Amino acid sequence: DAKTTQPNSMESNEEEPVHLPCNHSTISGTDYIHWYRQLPSQGPEYVIHGLTSNVNNRMASLAIAEDRKSSTLILHRATLRDAAVYYCILRYTGANSKLTFGKGITLSVRP
């Protein structure tokens, strides 16, 4: 499985934008870039995914580098509820399109 590399932690102030980076230099052409987050005491929750183009949804934006070797999850206005562990995952199209979770990045949001 292609791996991702994320910083261990990041801090942000409430109502400010947050940029969470992810490196995936061994990504293959059929890997989708997924982001999930896990709030304390909850199961992982889907945030966003993309293949080549930047993506926006109601939760966040995903900026994908042109060579696809890195991506950035953008939370436009962080809230206290956004404090969580964020996982950048490469999901391939195959029989077992499992999600391989790394350690993720722990986001703290200051009031």
Partner 1 sequence: EAQVTQNPRYLITVTGKKLTVTCSQNMNHEYMSWYRQDPGLGLRQIYYSMNVEVTDKGDVPEGYKVSRKEKRNFPLILESPSPNQTSLYFCASSTPGVGNTEAFFGQGTRLTVV
By the rule CB under 8 A, 73 interacts with partner 1: no
- Footprint on residues 25-64 left by partner 1 (CB under 8 A): 30-32, 34, 36, 41-46, 49, 51
Of the two residues 36 and 82, which places its CB atom closer to partner 1 in the complex?
36
Alpha-carbon separation of residue 87 from 14, 56, 83, 110, 111 (angstroms): 20, 17, 13, 20, 23
Q: What sign does the CA torsion over 65, 72, 85, 105 have?
A: positive
Q: Which of 11, 54, 77, 102 binds partner 1 (CB under 8 A)?
A: 102
Of the chain, the end-to-end C-alpha distance in Å amounts to: 38
Per CB under 8 A, 98 contacts partner 1: yes
- Number of residues located near partner 1, criterion CB under 8 A: 27
Q: Which residue in this structure is represented by tokens 């993720």? A: 104
State the residues that interact with partner 1 by CB under 8 A: 30-32, 34, 36, 41-46, 49, 51, 91-104
